[in-house]
Structure 1
Amino acid sequence: MSNTDYCIVGSGRLATHLRYWLLEKGHTVASWSRQNSDLRTLRSLSKNALSTLVAINDQSIEELCSFISEAGGSPVHFSGALHINGVLGFHPLMSFSNTFLDLETYSSIPFVGCEESDVFRRTFPSFKQNPYYQIEPQQKVKYHALCVLVNNCAMQLWARSVDEASAQMGLPVSIFDPIIQRSASSWVEDKASGITGPLVRNDLKTIEAHLGALDDEPLLKLYKAFLELPKPDE
């Protein structure tokens, strides 16, 4: 008989958020990480948990899931790109910072996986409000690449652009916060119809001036790449 509902493997942001979230939901939770425990402890913890949640980097997931299965545990991973035969995988479509969220926000996080919806609901019975979407295993890598473009690449573009303005013009980094927040809100409210600016209007004179002014090579290449994308109404 299981002593705990979940054993969480990992010590990063996702593992920390999962532990907080599940405890707030009233679950019993054990934790394990390589930094402060050995595999013998993990064997015992995973055998005594209903599910062992593997929230670590992709390079180590398959090996650790195999160990947990051989130990008699039930591993679940959260990689957006990996599909492992015989192992449940559910990707939370959310960016996790060092700050905990409120339960309403946690309950709005969508999960994407290759399993049927009822498998997700049985694995996480307290995540009743969380949307769940099923995709095919062969779609996972492309799905995750698109997630990275939406989230990580967008933030890297913000960081590079803001740093350039700060370094060359002396503008405070925070001056761009309102437009970044408004741009994100516009997408949530209006999707592609909320996109504005010279690239959408095809304002050639302004675009040519921009191309001549951008002396940061990576930003110039990105600007040119955006010119190749179809306009929202095309």
Structure 2
Amino acid sequence: MDKVFAAHPLMTFGAGLQAPEWYRAIPFVVDKGVDMVDILPGFPNGTFALAPEQRALYHALCTLAGNSTFFLWQKIAHEFRHSLGLPGDLLAPFLHQVVANALQPEAARMATGPVARVVTGKKNIGLRHEAGID
């Protein structure tokens, strides 16, 4: 099968359609040595090469990044709505900034809140334990 190539859109898709420019901005991860212009002349999307033996790790990381965070944020939005009486979409700017921070080279230093403040974090953990919240 010399003429079979892998080209994976690095994107998650919802139920609805998006504007054409949204689709043109989706990066594709292709087999190393494949030039999408040769396969699809005029293909506007950015492409990034990956050795075929790395494909399983790539897909595992994409699945982890997409599905794990999806379920986490879905649960948090549910709790905002049902436990706090706040709209779930209130989280959108916060979520976007969390993702932007996580993608920065210095991301390890960008944790905020009690997690970043060890003393405050230990205090909050102690208070949660005393209140019976585990």
Q: TM-score, normalised by structure 1?
A: 0.45
Q: 1:204 to 1:150 in 2, by over 3 A?
A: farther
1:152 Cα deviation (Å)? 2.2
Is residue 2:40 matched to residue 1:124? yes
Q: 1:156 to 1:207 in 2, by over 3 A?
A: farther
d(CA) in 2 for partners of 1:165, 1:106: 31
Aligned pair count reads 129
Counterpart of 2:5 (choices 65, 74, 88) is 88
Is residue 2:16 matched to residue 1:99? yes
Q: 1:208 to 1:137 in 2, by over 3 A?
A: farther
Unmatched runs of 5 consecutive residues or more in structure 1: 1-83, 221-234
The AA in structure 1 aligned to 2:16 is: T
Q: 1:199 to 1:144 in 2, by over 3 A?
A: farther
Is residue 2:27 matched to residue 1:113? no
d(CA) in 2 for partners of 1:85, 1:210: 58
1:91 Cα deviation (Å)? 0.3
d(CA) in 1 for partners of 2:30, 2:87: 41
d(CA) in 2 for partners of 1:137, 1:107: 24
Counterpart of 1:142 (choices 35, 45, 57) is 57
Q: 1:164 to 1:182 in 2, by over 3 A?
A: same
Whether the aligned pair in 2 keeps the contact of 1:111 and 1:131 (CA below 8 Å) is yes
Counterpart of 1:173 (choices 88, 93, 98) is 88
RMSD (Å) for aligned C-alpha atoms: 3.2
1:192 Cα deviation (Å)? 4.4
Give the secondary-structure state (helix, strand or coil) at the position aligned to 1:88. Answer: coil
Q: 1:95 to 1:210 in 2, by over 3 A?
A: farther
Is residue 2:70 matched to residue 1:155? yes
Whether the aligned pair in 1 keeps the contact of 2:115 and 2:121 (CA below 8 Å) is no
Whether the aligned pair in 2 keeps the contact of 1:88 and 1:115 (CA below 8 Å) is no
Higher relative strand content: 1
d(CA) in 2 for partners of 1:150, 1:171: 26
1:191 Cα deviation (Å)? 1.6
Unmatched runs of 5 consecutive residues or more in structure 2: none
Is residue 2:111 matched to residue 1:196? yes
The AA in structure 2 aligned to 1:191 is: Q
Whether the aligned pair in 1 keeps the contact of 2:114 and 2:124 (CA below 8 Å) is no
The share of aligned pairs that are identical, in percent, is 26
Counterpart of 1:206 (choices 102, 108, 121) is 121
Post-superposition CA distance 1:148-197 (Å, at most 9, x none): 2322221211111222233322222222222123334x349x72446331
Q: TM-score, normalised by structure 2?
A: 0.72
